[in-house]
Structure 1
Amino acid sequence: MRTIFVLFDSLNRTALGAYGSKAIPTPNFDRFAERAVTFDTHYVGSLPCMPARRDMQTGRLNFTHRPWGPLEPFDNSYAQILSAAGVYTHLISDHLHYFENGGWGYSQAFDSWEFIRGQEYDPLTVLTVPPVERIREAFDPRHYPTEAMEEGRTATRWTSPKDVWKRSRHAINKIDPWEDADYPTAKCFARAFEFLNRNSKSDDWFLQIECFDPHEPFDAPDKYKARFATGYEGPILDWPLYERCTNSAEEIAEIRANYAAVVAMCDDHFGRLLDWMDANEAWEDTALILTTDHGYLLGEHEWWAKNRMPYYEEISHIPLMVWRPDNGPKSGMRVSALTQTTDLMPTILGLHEVASPEESRAHSLLPLLKGRPSGRDTAILGMFGGPVCVTDGRYAYFRFPLTDDPSALPVYTLMPSHLEELFSVRDLATAELVEAFDFTKGAPMLRVTLSNKVGESGMNILANWNAGNVLYDLLSDPGQTTPIKAPEIEARLSIAITEHFEAHDAPQELYAHYGLTRAEGAIRVGR
C-alpha cells in the first residue's frame, strides 16, 4: 500500500463545491469527491495548528493536558509507527510552525522531510533594514497597525510591535516579485511530484504533502485574484487581525475574494496530483486523503479568523475525503457518521495493516468506508483553557470554564514550550514532577503553572464571551445564531465530556475548571 496524505491549513468546508459552496469554483476538489468517500460530519479535536497535528499523529486529544507544544517523547506518532513497520514516511511542507520551538519533533518523526521556505512570517528574504514604511503604505493599516493606532487599545499578540514586524515579513519576502512557480504551495507540489516520479514503482510508502495555504496572508498569483475581482481599490487586505469584524461590506468582500483566490490556487495544484494519479494508474494501489486542520471565520458571527471566539461550525466542522483502492462501488459515497481529526491516526495505520497502539483513543474510519459503524457517538474539541465543545453531530454544546485564571489550570508536559518561546524560568520554577499518566508509558510529567494568559491557551476566548454555557441545534440552526435551552440535552452532553476526559486520563484540575465531577475512584495520588 502507498498513501498520499494532503493536508491544507484553514481550508473551509464551506469553500468547497462538494460541500455545497457556490461562491468558489473548486473543480478538482469536487472531482476527487466524485471518486472518494466524503465525510459530512467531520470535526476538529484540539486547536489550532500544532495541537491539531499532535491529535492527528497520536490519535489522542492534546488540549486535555497542555496548549501548543512539541511532540512529547512518549507520543505514538503514526509516522514513527509506520516506519517501524517497514513503511517509508516522507513529509513535504511549507508549514513554518514545524520549525519553531513549539513545533519540534513532528517533522523529525518522519524518515525524511523537506521544508519549503517563505510562508507567513518565515524570513526567506533577509533585509537588515526593511522598508517598513513603504510596506505600511501598501497595506491596510488595520492589518499593519502603527504605534499611534495601538495607543488606548488593549494589547494583544496581534497588535504588539513584534507581531507588526512579523506581519511585514511576507511583504519583505516578495520584495522581488514572485512568479507562479515561486509560491510555496507550488513548490510543495513540485517537490511532491519529484518524490512520486522517483518512487512510482515502489511500494510501502507514506507521503504527507502539507501546505500552509489557504492560511493567511491571503496571497495568490494575479491570475487567481482576477477570477474574484471585486472592484476594490483601497490598500491591500490580505491578513485580518484576529478580532471582531468592523470592516465595510466592500472590505469584507475583498478579503473573502483574496481567500477565494488562494483556495482556487490550492484546487489547481491538487488537480495536478489527481492528473498524476490518472496518468500513473495509481488509483489501483494508492490511498489518497484530503483534509485540513481547522476552518477560518471570514466575517461570520462578526469575527475574523479563530482563537478568540467559540469554535463555531465554520472553524470546527471541516472537510475530509478519503480514497482507498478497494472502495469499489462505494466511490462517491457520503458518510454522515460523526468523525474527528484524531481518527486519522488509526485510519492511516490501518491502511497499511499496522495495529494502533493501546494509548490511542480514536476510531478508525475504515469500517465507515464499508458501511459499518466506527464506534464514535460523540466528540469533544477545544483549546487548552478555553471552552470545551461536545457534539453528537446534531447538537453542539459549549461548556465554559468557571474562571479565566491561568494558574487554575496547570500544564502537564515534558516539552515546556509555547509557540515560539520556551517556558519562562519564572514558570519553570513552579514545575514539579508528578506520577505518570496512562499514556506516558511510565514517564512522570512536569506540572507547570503558567504566570500569564497566552493566546494559544484559549484564555483569550473567555474575555470575549459572557453568555455562559450555550447549546445549539445544528439541524434547525446550522449557522449557530440562536441558542436553545434543553437541560436534559446539556446534562447528557456534559456526561459525554466527562467520559472523554476519563478516557484521556485528564487531570483533576480540568474537571474543576469546567465544574464537572470525575467518576468515583478515578482520581489517583499526585493528580
Structure 2
Amino acid sequence: MKTIMIMFDTLSRNYLPNYSDIDIAVPNFKRLQEHCIIFDKFYGGSMPCMPARRELHTGKYNFLHRSWGPLEPFDFSVFETLNQQGVYTHLITDHSHYWEDGGATYHNRYSSWEGFRGQEGDRWIARSEALPNENKHPMNKQGLSVTQHFANRTKQQSEEEMSTVKTIHAGIDFLKHHQDKDDWFLQVECFDPHEPFYVPDRYRESVSKDEDFVYWPKYQKVDGEKQADGIQEAREEYKALVRMCDHHLGKVLDYLDEANMWEDTMVIINTDHGFLLGEHDWMGKNSSPMYEEIIHIPFYMHVPGYKGGERCDGIAQTIDIAPTLLDYYGLDIPENMEGKSLLSLLDQKVVNHESILFGTNGGQVCIFDGRYVYMRASADESNQPLVNYTMMPTQIRGFMSKDQLREAELVSGNKFSNDVPMLRIKMDNYSNSFAFGHLLFDLKEDPEQNEPLQDEKVEDDMIEKLIGMLDQIEAPEEEYIRLGLK
C-alpha cells in the first residue's frame, strides 16, 4: 500500500475553482477532481502551523492545552507508528519551523526526511548578505524576519532555486524510485503559498509593479475602503503564488498519470489553514476571529477503489488524517484519538462528527455543528487563567522564561497526555478574544459571516454542545473558567 500527501501551507479554498467561482488559472487544482473526492466541510482545528501539524501526527486537538510547540514525549505519532509497523515514511519539506525550538521533534518521527532552506524568515543566509529592501509599503511586515528573507533571496534568484520547486522535484524523484515498491508513505510539504508572496513574474497577470506593493501583509485590522489598493495588491500576489503552486503540482500529477499510480496509491492534497486578505477587514490568520476564510479549508483525497469526481458533505477535520492512515494500512486506531477515519465517512457507515472544535491557544474557542459556528471569547480582558500543559517548554524560536519554569508544577496526566504526568505552566495573555466578544453565525443563512446572529436559544444550545465537547476531550479546568463556563 502506498500514500502520497501533498501539503501546501496557507492554501485558501476561496482561490480554488473546485470551491469558488473565482477567475484564476489553476488547471491542476481543478484537474484533481478527475481522481479525487472533494470534501466540502473540511476544517482545521488547532491554529496555526505547528499546532496543526501536531494534530496531523496525533489525531488529537492541541490548542486547548498547548500553544505553539514541538511534538511531546508522550504523544502518539502516526508516522512513527507506521514506520514501526513496516511502512516506510519519508518527509520532504521546506517548512523551516520544523527546525526551530518549537517544532524540532516532528521531522524525526519519520523514517527519513529531506529539507530545503530559505522560506520566510528561516535563519539561513547571513543577514549581512541581505539584498536591499526598497519596498516600504506600510501594510507590509517589517523587522528581522524581513531582513532575513532578503538575505535568503540571494540564493533564490531563479524559479528552480526556490525551495518549493526543489521540494516538488524531490517528491517526484522519490516516486520514481519507489513506484514499484510497496508499504510507504510520502509527505511532500510546501511552505508556499504562505506569505511572503515571493513569486516569479511569469505567474503574475501584470508584471508592471510600483516600487512599493503589498507582498507580505502584516496581521492587522484594515480599512476596506481606505486601503483597498493595498488589499487588492496582496490578493494579486497571493493569486500569483497559488498559480506557481498549481504549475508544480501539475508535474506530480503528470507523473502519477504516466506511472499509472492512481490504481494503487492513496493521494491526499491538503493544507493547514487559509488566510484573510481583507475579508472582514482583516489581514492574516491569528489576530482575528477564526472566520471561514481561515479555518474552512480545501481537502482532496483519492483512495484506490473509490470513485473520483465525487463530493463529500460530511464534517471532517485535520485530526481525521491520522486515523485514516492507520485504517488504510490496516492498523489499530487508538481509542483515545479524537479524529475518525475518513474511509468510514466515505463508506457512509457513520457520521464521524456531529460537532467539531477549532481555535488558537488562549483565543476564542469555536464550535461548528454543521450549521452554526459559535466563537466563545474569554470572560474578561485579563484572559486568565491561561496555562500550557507540556513536557517541552519551548515556543516558536525559544524557551519559555525561567520565571515561568520556576512556577511550573508537575501534574497528573489525562487523555491529552496519554496519562503521562506533565508540566502546568502559567502563561501571560497573548490574545485579544475578549475584545471580539462571543460570536454566533448561521452558515446556512449567512455563509460569508457578515451578520453575527443574536439568538439566545441557539447560543445556549451551542454552549451546551461546547461544554460537552470540552468534557469529552478532558479540556483543562482553566479553560472553563477563562471562558466563563464555570
Global fold match (TM > 0.5): yes
Given that residues 232 and 251 in structure 1 are in contact (C-alpha distance below 8 angstroms), is that contact kept between their aligned partners in structure 2? no
Is the aligned partner of 1:347 residue 2:316?
A: no
Is the aligned partner of 1:294 residue 2:293?
A: no
Is the aligned partner of 1:512 residue 2:481?
A: yes
Task: Give matches, 1:124-163, under 5 Å.
Answer: 124-128=124-128, 130=130, 134-135=132-133, 137-145=134-142
Task: Give matches, 1:194-205, under 5 Å.
Answer: 194-205=173-184
Given that residues 383 and 482 in structure 2 are in contact (C-alpha distance below 8 angstroms), is that contact kept between their aligned partners in structure 1? no
CA distance in 1: counterparts of 2:216 and 2:325, whole angstroms: 34
Residue matched to 2:340: 363
Q: Deviations over 1:273-292 (max 9, x none)?
A: 11111111101110000111
The AA in structure 1 aligned to 2:385 is: A
Residue matched to 2:32: 32
Distance change >3 Å, CA 213–CA 319, structure 1 → 2: same
So what's the TM-score if we normalise by structure 2?
0.96
Residue matched to 2:469: 500
Equivalent position to 1:188, from 167, 172, 177: 167
Residue matched to 1:418: 395
Residue matched to 1:159: none
Residue matched to 1:156: none
Is the aligned partner of 1:487 residue 2:464?
A: no
Task: Give matches, 1:83-94, under 5 Å.
Answer: 83-94=83-94
Given that residues 55 and 319 in structure 2 are in contact (C-alpha distance below 8 angstroms), is that contact kept between their aligned partners in structure 1? yes
Task: Give matches, 1:169-184, under 5 Å.
Answer: 169-175=148-154, 178-184=157-163
Instruction: Note the residue ranges of structure 2 that are not aligned, 5 or more in a row.
Output: none
Given that residues 10 and 295 in structure 1 are in contact (C-alpha distance below 8 angstroms), is that contact kept between their aligned partners in structure 2? yes
Q: Secondary structure at the match of 1:128?
A: helix
Task: Give matches, 1:424-439, under 5 Å.
Answer: 424-439=401-416
TM-aligned CA deviation for residue 177 of structure 1: 5.6
Residue matched to 1:219: 198
Residue matched to 2:250: 271
Equivalent position to 1:256, from 226, 235, 250: 235
Given that residues 407 and 449 in structure 1 are in contact (C-alpha distance below 8 angstroms), is that contact kept between their aligned partners in structure 2? no
TM-aligned CA deviation for residue 417 of structure 1: 0.8
CA distance in 1: counterparts of 2:332 and 2:207, whole angstroms: 51
Given that residues 130 and 152 in structure 2 are in contact (C-alpha distance below 8 angstroms), is that contact kept between their aligned partners in structure 1? no
Residue matched to 1:121: 121
The AA in structure 1 aligned to 2:441 is: Y
Given that residues 51 and 68 in structure 1 are in contact (C-alpha distance below 8 angstroms), is that contact kept between their aligned partners in structure 2? yes
TM-aligned CA deviation for residue 141 of structure 1: 4.4
Give the paired residue count.
484
Given that residues 95 and 119 in structure 1 are in contact (C-alpha distance below 8 angstroms), is that contact kept between their aligned partners in structure 2? yes
The AA in structure 2 aligned to 1:17 is: P
Distance change >3 Å, CA 177–CA 417, structure 1 → 2: closer
Distance change >3 Å, CA 22–CA 142, structure 1 → 2: closer
Given that residues 290 and 321 in structure 1 are in contact (C-alpha distance below 8 angstroms), is that contact kept between their aligned partners in structure 2? yes
TM-aligned CA deviation for residue 249 of structure 1: 2.5
Q: Secondary structure at the match of 1:101?
A: coil
TM-aligned CA deviation for residue 230 of structure 1: 7.8
Is the aligned partner of 1:304 residue 2:283?
A: yes
TM-aligned CA deviation for residue 231 of structure 1: 5.4
TM-aligned CA deviation for residue 358 of structure 1: 2.1
Q: Larger deviation: 173-182 or 278-287?
A: 173-182
Given that residues 51 and 69 in structure 2 are in contact (C-alpha distance below 8 angstroms), is that contact kept between their aligned partners in structure 1? yes
TM-aligned CA deviation for residue 368 of structure 1: 2.1
TM-aligned CA deviation for residue 220 of structure 1: 1.1
Q: Larger deviation: 196-205 or 15-24?
A: 15-24
CA distance in 1: counterparts of 2:41 and 2:141, whole angstroms: 37
TM-aligned CA deviation for residue 343 of structure 1: 0.8
Q: Secondary structure at the match of 1:498?
A: helix
Q: Deviations over 1:371-429 (max 9, x none)?
A: 33343110011111111111112111111111343551211111111111101101101
Q: Deviations over 1:301-360 (max 9, x none)?
A: 111011111000000100011000111xx3111111111111111011111111111221
TM-aligned CA deviation for residue 236 of structure 1: 3.6
The AA in structure 2 aligned to 1:174 is: R
CA distance in 1: counterparts of 2:207 and 2:464, whole angstroms: 48
Q: Secondary structure at the match of 1:354?
A: coil
Q: Deviations over 1:231-258 (max 9, x none)?
A: 5524142101101124632222211110
Given that residues 83 and 89 in structure 1 are in contact (C-alpha distance below 8 angstroms), is that contact kept between their aligned partners in structure 2? yes
Q: Larger deviation: 211-220 or 21-30?
A: 21-30
Q: Secondary structure at the match of 2:221?
A: coil
Distance change >3 Å, CA 500–CA 215, structure 1 → 2: same
RMSD after superposition: 1.7
Distance change >3 Å, CA 176–CA 505, structure 1 → 2: closer
Given that residues 130 and 148 in structure 2 are in contact (C-alpha distance below 8 angstroms), is that contact kept between their aligned partners in structure 1? no
CA distance in 1: counterparts of 2:191 and 2:433, whole angstroms: 24
Equivalent position to 1:284, from 253, 263, 267: 263
TM-aligned CA deviation for residue 143 of structure 1: 2.0
CA distance in 1: counterparts of 2:331 and 2:278, whole angstroms: 43
Q: Secondary structure at the match of 2:56?
A: helix
CA distance in 2: counterparts of 1:46 and 1:69, whole angstroms: 12
TM-aligned CA deviation for residue 64 of structure 1: 1.5
Distance change >3 Å, CA 138–CA 400, structure 1 → 2: closer
Identity %: 40
Given that residues 45 and 61 in structure 2 are in contact (C-alpha distance below 8 angstroms), is that contact kept between their aligned partners in structure 1? yes
Instruction: Note the residue ranges of structure 1 that are not aligned, 5 or more in a row.
Output: 146-163, 518-527
Distance change >3 Å, CA 481–CA 127, structure 1 → 2: closer
CA distance in 2: counterparts of 1:416 and 1:124, whole angstroms: 24
The AA in structure 2 aligned to 1:203 is: D
TM-aligned CA deviation for residue 124 of structure 1: 3.4
Is the aligned partner of 1:245 residue 2:222?
A: yes
TM-aligned CA deviation for residue 15 of structure 1: 0.7
Residue matched to 1:440: 417
The AA in structure 2 aligned to 1:505 is: E
